[in-house]
Structure 1
Amino acid sequence: MTLSFPVSLTPLVSMLLAIVAGGPFIAYLRRWKMGQSIRQEGPQSHHAKAGTPTMGGWLIVAPALLIAILGGAVSGTLHRDVVAVMAVILAYAFIGWLDDYLIIKKRQNKGLSARQKLGGQILAGALFAAYLAWSGHGTTIMIPVSHGLFDLGWVYYPLLVLVMTSTTNAVNLTDGLDGLAAGTMAIAFGGLAWLVLNVSGAFPAQAGTVMLLLSLVGACLGFLWFNSHPAQVFMGDTGSLALGAAIAGCAVLGRLELFLIPLGAVFVAETLSVIMQVASFKTTGKRIFKMSPLHHHFELSGWAETKVVQRFYLVGALMAIVTVALL
């Protein structure tokens, strides 16, 4: 598949739309006092961020989906599978929005319970899996390097739900520093767009998937205009859950689920740091890291917030290159 000129403009248009909409949207959030509560056990330097508007994830989701829908409709590439991924993105965004809203309403950093949030994520993932089963998507995944396909049979569907929930939570854990999640996700979306564009054996939703991914790249970059340090707005769970669902859903359409591991190395490392920290403390009473997720460990080690973010960008970009080489 080749990238047409109109499609190549998609990230620019979605980025500009996010930037233009950002000012009025942030003003709206401030007017209605949609400010973020900061967890008390977090780094002391973060307490000054209390009150920063949250739910900014809509500044990514809305422009990205709007441009992808309009571009797909005009070019005739708006496949039903891509529409299904968009629906999943909105479902996860709603779960995140509800969590953000409850945090603001309760005036503490506790929204939905862990069980409620996970239940919603599993339900949304299961509905997506049910759609794919109905549509005849198949149960094969691509093996890196070999280009071979491996058929998982019925096991594919529960694994798909696991991929959706684990990816969304990994992005959610990464969203802890100004610009960190948006920037690393822009890199990951760009890497996945290249993989989908060059995957051997075209699939019906290929063009529409690339357009959606490029729209997400642009929207993330536009959001960074306001989210880079010092952040004027946070994406909140609204954004982090939606972005995780977006990259997982697009990877599923391209049968590239296994490629998410190296491509999302930053998110994997953040998640593993939390798992290791909890496991170590419960079994030995000792902590491996000064604080988890991993980005807080580096903060407490003396790195400036911007330095942590920049280094994570570099790791994300390097792993995107490595992942591309695995295709």
Structure 2
Amino acid sequence: MMLERILLLTLVLSFLIAVLLSPIFIPFLRRLKFGQSIREEGPESHKKKSGTPTMGGIVIVISIIITSLFISVTYLSLSQEILLLLLVTVGFGLVGFLDDFIKVVLKRNLGLTSKQKLAGQLFIAILFYIGLRQMNLSTEIIIPATSFSIDLGWFYLPFVIIMLVGASNAVNLTDGLDGLLAGTGAVAFGAFAVLAWYADLIDISIFSAAIVGAVLGFLVYNAHPAKVFMGDTGSLALGGAIAAIAILTKMEILLIIIGGVFVIETLSVIIQVISFKTRGKRIFKMSPLHHHYELSGWSEWRVVVTFWFVGMIFAVLGIYLEVWL
């Protein structure tokens, strides 16, 4: 089968699995009373979302696992890259699942403590790094649109850890509005699917396409008004996955551009905290940034679509820097 058809099949299969699984999981989650608790300090308009089933990220992760394994075994081969990507995606997804479980079942609204969550992320990141060393992956990082590279040597370990933990938390912060993360995630992973394909890294392209299909299938039920939220189960899994893809494709720095929306959301939180602690004043009406626009009078759907569009601009810019410069 032509590689292009395999890529299309991956996208369609993952999409269909997510679309077909969601109507099964949503009532199940509702019966188990796995409903989202809305934080008191959040926007007033979000209070009506309380009780909406969360942990829908389980559907995304299952779709990614089934699709990537099926396509790899059937048409390609089960490579080390696929196994490492699954390790990070499932591992970070499990950390998110524990966080969600504590929130919705044990009724502790903040979930895992920051130290507990970090410990889980560090453990998965170190396992991933060990896998990289066994593959003899280069410890160089390449500066986009240039011929320059920097060999980090042993410092590549902390670099990998910072990337995985940072990206997972950045993506997690973006998951605050109906369809926001699913849409921006589909765009970012789509960009990496194209770039991995262009670099002849077919396995990684297939995995990226599986994620695009999964989040688009989930978006059918997550678009405003959302019938289900992905929770930390989904957002941490996606954040870890996109960092792992960037590392395996040797496009680590390019992740900052392609994931520009995630970076901006994170910076808005950092700026807000620093400003409040040093000046006693807030820069934004609320952080992350998407809440600022909500409280400025934008409808939720307008904020989401705008962020999708900005994400597309970043994705195109990333592809342009890597392919044409």
TM-score by length of 2: 0.96
AA partner of residue 273 (structure 2): V
- CA shift at 1:122, angstroms? 1.5
Q: Is the 8 A contact 1:170 1:244 kept in 2?
A: yes
* Aligned residue number for residue 117 of structure 1: 117
CA RMSD of aligned residues (A): 1.2
Q: Is the 8 A contact 1:19 1:225 kept in 2?
A: yes
* Aligned residue number for residue 91 of structure 1: 91
AA partner of residue 174 (structure 1): T
- CA shift at 1:8, angstroms? 2.1
Matches within 5 A, 1:123-162: 123-162=123-162
* Aligned residue number for residue 300 of structure 1: 295
Secondary structure of the 1:246 match is: helix
Partner Cα distance (1:73, 1:231) in 2: 35
Partner Cα distance (2:3, 2:303) in 1: 34
Deviations 1:129-178 (A, max 9, x none): 12212331121222211254432111111101100000000000000000
Partner Cα distance (2:116, 2:96) in 1: 11
Partner Cα distance (2:44, 2:21) in 1: 32
* Percent identity over paired residues: 48
> For this pair of structures, how many residues does the alignment match?
321
AA partner of residue 161 (structure 1): I
Partner Cα distance (1:16, 1:148) in 2: 42
Secondary structure of the 1:106 match is: coil
Q: Is the 8 A contact 1:37 1:108 kept in 2?
A: no
Q: Unaligned 5+ residue runs, structure 1?
A: none
- CA shift at 1:108, angstroms? 4.2
Q: Does 1:211 align with 2:203?
A: no
* Aligned residue number for residue 273 of structure 1: 268
* Aligned residue number for residue 64 of structure 1: 64
Q: Is the 8 A contact 1:14 1:63 kept in 2?
A: yes
Matches within 5 A, 1:1-327: 3-199=3-199, 202=200, 206-327=201-322
Partner Cα distance (2:150, 2:72) in 1: 30
> After the TM superposition, which of the residue ranges 176-185 and 122-131 deviates more from structure 2?
122-131
